[in-house]
Structure 1
Amino acid sequence: MLYFLNDMVENQVANAKKELSELPEKNTERREFLTAQIATYETQLKNFKEDIEKQLSERFQFSVEELYAMYGQYERKYISIEFHKFSESAGKFGRNIGGVLTFYKKEREALENAISQENAPRTNGLVKIDCSKHETLSDEQKKELIENGFVSGDIYEVLASDFPVVKSYNQTGIKDIPNTITVNVDQNDFDPNRAYLWLYSRRIKNGDILIEEEIAKFCGLSMYLKPGSESYDFIKENGFDENGQKLAKVRFFELEAKLYAKDISKVELLEFNEFLQARKVERIEAIKKEIKRSTNKNFEQFEEEYPDIYAELQNSRVQFETESLDYHEMVTPIYWDYEGFLHIFLRHCDELAIEGHFENKTKFQYTQKDIKRILKIAIEDLKPKINEKLKEGNDFRIYGDRSLYFNGNHYSLHILADGRVAAFHPMENPTE
C-alpha cells in the first residue's frame, strides 16, 4: 500500500511540476498554489520513504535461507528479481535483474544444514547471482553481483518458471549430464583423417595455436593425403628437424594414416610397429608410475588383483590420443596427455576404483565416457579466469571453497602454464 501511495504521489508531483514549468509568470496565484502543492507532496514522499525503509529493516521479505530453499538448491534455476524501490541494490543495479543464484562450497554446505533444521534461521545476508545473460547490466555490475552479491532483504519480489526442478547436490549413484542430446551418425563414409586434416588446416588459417601433437598429426596427414605438401612452408618449418630429417612423430601419423587407408607396405608396417612398441614401453612406464603413486600394489600385483581395470588401462595405452580440449578464444590450447589422463581416471573414476593410498579419493559420478565432457564443460565455464592466469604465465588452480560447481558437485581443476591439464576431480563424495 505504501508503494502504491508513493507511486501515486510521485505522479502527482510530476504533473504539478510539468504544469508549473509551462505556466506563464503572470499567473502568480496558480503558481503559488502549485509550488505549495509540490512541497506538500514531497513531504509525503519523504514520509513514505521513511516508513518503507523502517518496515524493510524490521520485516524483510526474503532471507538467504529461503532463497536457497526455493531456488538456489536446484540446478541452474533462473529467477527474475525486483528490488525494493529505495533499497541500496535498486540504486546500484536497477529495480530488476535476472540470473542464477550461486554459492561457494562452504555456503552451500551451511545452507543445506540450515534448511534441514526444524526451525530454519532467517538471515538478511548477502546472496550472489550470475547475471551473465542480462543484457542491460554492465560488466562491472555483473562482476559485482557474482563476486559480492546483494542483501537478500532488498528483494521485493521473485518470479520463477514453474518448470520441474532438479536437485543434484548430494545425489548418489551415477549421473547423466543434463541437457544431453544423442545424435546418431552414419560413419560408413566418414574418414576421420581427412576430417582432422580439414579441421587443423582451418585452425592454422584462422591463426589458432595447435599443440605439438596436433602439428605433428597435421604434417603427417598432409604428407600422405596431399602428395607434394612437403614443399609447403608450414610443413617445412614444423615437419622436419634442423638436418632436414622427418620428425618421428610426423612419420608416426603418416604411417597411421596409411594403415587406416590399407595402403601401407610390409616394410612400413614393420616401421609402424616399432613406433607402437616404443609408445607401449613409454605408456607402461607411465601406468607403473601412477599405480605406484595411487595404490599400495606393484605392477604385477595390480595386474593379478584387478584384471578388469588392468585391461581398461591396456586399452587406453593403445587408444588414448593427446588432444586439445578447448582452443577457441584461449591464450593457449588447453589439452590433456596420457599422464594427466591416468592421474584423473585411476584416482577418481569409480569404474576404476582401487584400494591403496587413494582408495578414499572422491569419485566422479559419471561413466568414463562422460568424464571428458565434464572436464570440457569445466574449462569452458572457467575460460576467462583460466586465460587471466595463463596470460601472466602462471598455472591455473581452482579448489576449496571457490571450486567450480556443476550439476550437484564441486570440482577442483589444475592447469599448467603451458595449457596441460594436470588434475581434475570432484571435491566430495555424495552422502550415502
Structure 2
Amino acid sequence: MFGIVNKINEHSLYLLNDMVENQVRAAEKELANCPAENTERIDFLMTQIGYYKSELQKFKDNVENQRKEKFQFSIEELYAMYGQYERKYISVEFHKFSESATKFGRNIAGVIVYSKAEREVLENLINSDVVPRTNDYVKFDFSKSETISDELRHELLNTGFKSGDIYEILASDYPMQKAFNQPGQKEIPNTIEVKIDPSGFDINRSTRWLLGQKIKSGYKLTDIEWAKFCGLSIYLEPESIEVNIIKENAFDENGNKKYLVRFYELEAKLYSKDITGEEIMEFNEFLKTRKSIRIESIVREIKRSTNKTIEKFKSEYPEIYEEIEISRIQFDDETLVYHNVIIPIFWDYESYLHIYLRHCDELGIEGHFENKTKFQYTQKDIRRILVIAIEKLLPQINEKLKANKEFRIYGDKSLYFNGNHYSLHILANGKVAAFHPLENPTK
C-alpha cells in the first residue's frame, strides 16, 4: 500500500490500513454532507476516496495471497507454545480479512481446549522427529469477561477457529507449568492453606447454623441433612419440636421420631458431653447397626475389587484395612455441591469406598483392579478434586438431573483438569456413583 511492501508477520501490519480506512470513512461522511454547489471539494473527495480504496484493495489482496502461501500458526505450534500448559491464558488477534475475524471479531481472549484424543495426538506430534505444520481448527474457551453471543461462544468451544487465521498472540510471561502426563504426586493449583485454632469451636451450633442458612436461602437438603438439622435443633432448642418445619421432617406419619433424627440428636449430646449412661447405650445400638451396614458395604467392595474375603484382605493388607476401619467410623454422608443445583449432589459411604479403594494410590491393592488408574493426589485432596469436577460440569449435570436421568462423562468427552482426564458418574438422585482419572501417568 502506497508503495510499501508488507509482510504478514510484521508487528504493525494493519496499522496503516486501519488509519486509511478511518480516513475513507471521514471523507465519505464529509462527501455526504457536502453542498452540491461545492463541486471542487466534491471532486477532491471522490478522487481521494477512490485512490484510498484502490490502495486498500491492493493491500488486502497482497495479505490474502501471502496467507494462502504460508500461515503463521499451526495447531502443533499452538499446542507446543501454549496448549500443553495448564490453562495458559492468551489473547488472540486474527488477520483482519480472515473468516475468524469476520465471525468472532479481530481480538478474543481465553484458553485453548482439547479433547483427550486431541491432546494425546498433539503430545506425540510435538515429540516426534519431524513436526508437521497443520492449519486446522482450534477449540477455545472464551473469557467470560468478554462480550460475545452464547451461540458464538458455543461454536468457539465446540468447533473453534482455523489456526491459520491467527495474526498475533499475546501471553503472560508467568512460568509455564505442564501437568499432562507428568508422573508423581500433584498438588491442587492455587491452593492456599489456612491454619485455624479449633479450640472453642462448637460443632453442633455451627453445623445447625449452616444447615439453617441453606434452608433460608432456598437450597434443597438431602434426607441426611434434614435429619441432622432436626436432631441438632431438638437438642439445642427443645422447644423447636413444636416448630412446623421440625414437625414435618423429624417425625414419621405415626408421630414417631425418625431413626436418623434420634441418631443425630444423641450424637450432638455426645459431642457436648451432655449424654446420660442410658443414652450412651442407646447410641451404641445405633452405631452397631451402622457398623453392620457399613461392613456389608466393605465386604461387597473388597469382593468386587480384589475377589478376596474380608478376613484374607485384612491379613494381607493390615494397614489399608486399618484405614478402612477408621473411615467406617468417621465418614459421614455429605452434600458436595448444593449451590445452583437441581437437587443436592452428595456422596455416601458406598461412593467413598468405591472411589478410594479402587483409585487412591495410598490404598493401592492387588486383584481385579490392581491396574486401575490412580489419583495423583493425597487422600485428603481427592474429595476436593471431586468437588472441582462437579462444579465444572454443573450445567451438563443439571440438564440430566432435571430430566431425572443419570449423568456420565468418560472417554474423549471426559473432564480435563490439571493434567488428567476424569470420568464421573452421578445417579439420578444426585449420588456420586463413580469418579476416577482415565490414565495413569508415565512412570
Q: Are 1:132 and 1:142, in contact at CA under 8 Å, matched by a contact in 2?
A: no
Alignment of 1:6-155 (within 5 A): 6-155=17-166
Residue equivalent to 1:207? 218
Residue 273 (structure 1) aligned with residue 284 (structure 2): yes
Aligned mate of 1:291, from 286, 294, 302: 302
- Distance between the aligned counterparts of 1:380 and 1:323, measured in 2? 15
- Distance between the aligned counterparts of 2:239 and 2:30, measured in 1? 84
Q: Are 1:364 and 1:371, in contact at CA under 8 Å, matched by a contact in 2?
A: yes
Quote the offset at 1:278 in angstroms: 0.4
Aligned mate of 2:273, from 262, 267, 281: 262
Residue equivalent to 2:233? 222
Quote the offset at 1:145 in angstroms: 1.1
TM-score (norm: length of structure 2): 0.95
* SS at structure 2 position matched to 1:274: helix
Residue equivalent to 1:158? 169
Q: Are 1:99 and 1:134, in contact at CA under 8 Å, matched by a contact in 2?
A: no
Quote the offset at 1:227 in angstroms: 1.3
* SS at structure 2 position matched to 1:174: coil
Residue type of the alignment partner of 2:162: V
Residue type of the alignment partner of 1:281: S
Alignment of 1:350-389 (within 5 A): 350-389=361-400
- Distance between the aligned counterparts of 1:36 and 1:298, measured in 2? 94
- Distance between the aligned counterparts of 2:314 and 2:123, measured in 1? 42
Residue 431 (structure 1) aligned with residue 442 (structure 2): yes
Residue type of the alignment partner of 2:355: I
TM-score (norm: length of structure 1): 0.98
- Distance between the aligned counterparts of 2:403 and 2:130, measured in 1? 49
Q: Are 2:138 and 2:162, in contact at CA under 8 Å, matched by a contact in 1?
A: yes
- Distance between the aligned counterparts of 1:125 and 1:364, measured in 2? 33
- Distance between the aligned counterparts of 1:232 and 1:58, measured in 2? 78
Residue type of the alignment partner of 2:164: G
Q: Are 2:336 and 2:347, in contact at CA under 8 Å, matched by a contact in 1?
A: yes
Moved more, 49-58 or 75-84: 49-58
Residue 340 (structure 1) aligned with residue 346 (structure 2): no
Residue type of the alignment partner of 1:146: L
Quote the offset at 1:5 in angstroms: 4.5
* SS at structure 2 position matched to 1:290: helix
- Distance between the aligned counterparts of 1:64 and 1:338, measured in 2? 45
Q: Are 1:101 and 1:128, in contact at CA under 8 Å, matched by a contact in 2?
A: yes
- Distance between the aligned counterparts of 1:144 and 1:232, measured in 2? 52
* SS at structure 2 position matched to 1:228: helix
Q: Are 1:97 and 1:134, in contact at CA under 8 Å, matched by a contact in 2?
A: no
Alignment of 1:304-315 (within 5 A): 304-315=315-326
Residue type of the alignment partner of 2:62: D
Q: Are 2:77 and 2:133, in contact at CA under 8 Å, matched by a contact in 1?
A: yes
Residue type of the alignment partner of 2:281: L
Between the aligned residues of both structures, percent identity stands at 65
* SS at structure 2 position matched to 1:82: strand
Residue equivalent to 1:240? 251
